[in-house]
Structure 1
Amino acid sequence: MTQRARSDVVGNERLTALTGAVVLVLSVAEIATVPTLGSLIVAHFFVGVLLAGPVVAKTASTGWRFIRYYSRDPDYRRKGPPRPFLRVIAPLLVVSTLVLIASGIALAITGPAPEILIRVHVVSFLIWLATLAVHVFAYARRVPRLIAEDWRRRTELQEHVRSEPSGRGMRVAVNIAVLVLAAIAAVLLLPTAAPWEGWRGQAVTGPGVLAVAVCIGTAVAVLLKRR
């Protein structure tokens, strides 16, 4: 593998890892607002729109790897695909994430009146929560290692290794850029969330959460068995 090819493959992997970490932090913040939506609805909308930026960046990064792998690029083929189970749930995670964010933005604009949008938002949230939990479990050890490798100070030996991938500044710049753009959009959309203040809709509880728990437990069991 040439230096340029190695940099492309490893750089893509590290960009995906860094962006994925940003998505996870924002996702946890978003989930934390769900139990008290009535008082945190503005924060819920703001974080939801902010999440759109890193999600687009991560989807583009993984999509690039997908295209290169299935177009039979030798370097990406050598890197190999994700595990079969993760390839199965990946489309569910991507689609549910996009539907969740899109329906949330639509609700911010239309207000709480369209019940069908609320149902779509809740269902996509449950699917997203289940697939996200499995995804995080699968990459919980790998992502921190990739980020640490990208940020650690090089040893004297590494300083002489020309094959060490570069581009850390670009990866950071990409994440900052998508966050800034998403933050601007979130600020512009905040006034449209005013009709939701004090809203007392039903929390996501009961059968929905039970179904998510069962899905997560089953998926984790499958991953543990494969390991």
Structure 2
Amino acid sequence: MSTSASIGPRRRSRAGGAGPEGNERLTAITGTVLLVLFAAEGVTILGLENLLYWHYFIGFLLVGPVCVKIVSTCYRFARYYTGHPAYVRKGPPMIVLRVLGPFVMLTSCAVMATGIALGFGKSTRVAGLPMLLLHKGFFVLWAGAMTIHVLAYLWRLPRLVAADVPLTRVRRTATAIGGSGLRWALTAVGLAGGLVFAMLAAHLASSWR
């Protein structure tokens, strides 16, 4: 009887859908991917003269995962503020992170938009120079906000990501929720979209040489 009682909640949990826990895991998975890509992009900044192509390639590649993370974050925001019971029970992030979140999102979009504009810009003196200054300025603002954001969430990433990795100890002991395959698929789609964009557009780095 105790065995069936223990199995019952697990089945109900899977049947009930992922909810805020699944959303949190998707955000964590995508965030981990972004941390790796941001680190690689940071390496290219140290030697732009020789690594400009890869700076462009990784920058364009980032577009896909960033879009997935923004959608995941906005989804949680919308569900919470429209009063969905599960998301209300989960509660919002700390007030500092709630205030910082939109700033991180806006500066991320600004850095990427100005970077893309630089790639597709035809003039490096008229349109390019102001855009380059904007790109650098938004990057400084983004880096400060992102540092706080990462430090606040970094300690939770290993547990959340491992909970969706098959055959891990954390996965076996984690709360059973549905949608693991969908979360990995969304992450893969974001990466694939960014990869296609990067392969098609990274050659624009040659215009700056």
For residue 167 of structure 2, the aligned residue among 126, 129, 153 is 153
Cα distance in 2, alignment partners of residues 26 and 134 from structure 1: 18
1:182 aligns with 2:198: no
CA contact (8 A) 2:57 2:199 kept: yes
Cα distance in 2, alignment partners of residues 60 and 179 from structure 1: 14
Deviations 1:143-183 (A, max 9, x none): 1111112225377xx69x9x710221111111111111111
Structure 1 segments of 4+ aligned residues over 4 angstroms from their partners: none
Task: Name the aligned partner's letter for residue 91 of structure 1.
Answer: P
Equivalent positions of 1:79-158 (< 5 A) are 79-110=90-121, 112-113=124-125, 114-151=128-165, 153=167
Q: Which runs of 5+ in 1 are unaligned?
A: 198-227
SS for the counterpart of 1:165 is: coil
Cα offset, 1:190, TM superposition: 2.1
Tell me the TM-score normalised to structure 2 length. Answer: 0.86
Identical columns (%)? 37
For residue 53 of structure 1, the aligned residue among 64, 67, 71 is 64
Q: Report the counterpart of residue 3 of structure 2 in structure 1.
A: none
Output the aligned Cα RMSD: 2.1
Cα distance in 1, alignment partners of residues 101 and 32 from structure 2: 17
Cα distance in 2, alignment partners of residues 5 and 83 from structure 1: 27
Cα distance in 2, alignment partners of residues 150 and 173 from structure 1: 12
Deviations 1:29-83 (A, max 9, x none): 1111112111111100100010011000000001000000000111100000001
Tell me the TM-score normalised to structure 1 length. Answer: 0.79
For residue 17 of structure 1, the aligned residue among 22, 28, 33 is 28
Residues paired across the two proteins, number: 193
Q: Which runs of 5+ in 2 are unaligned?
A: 1-8
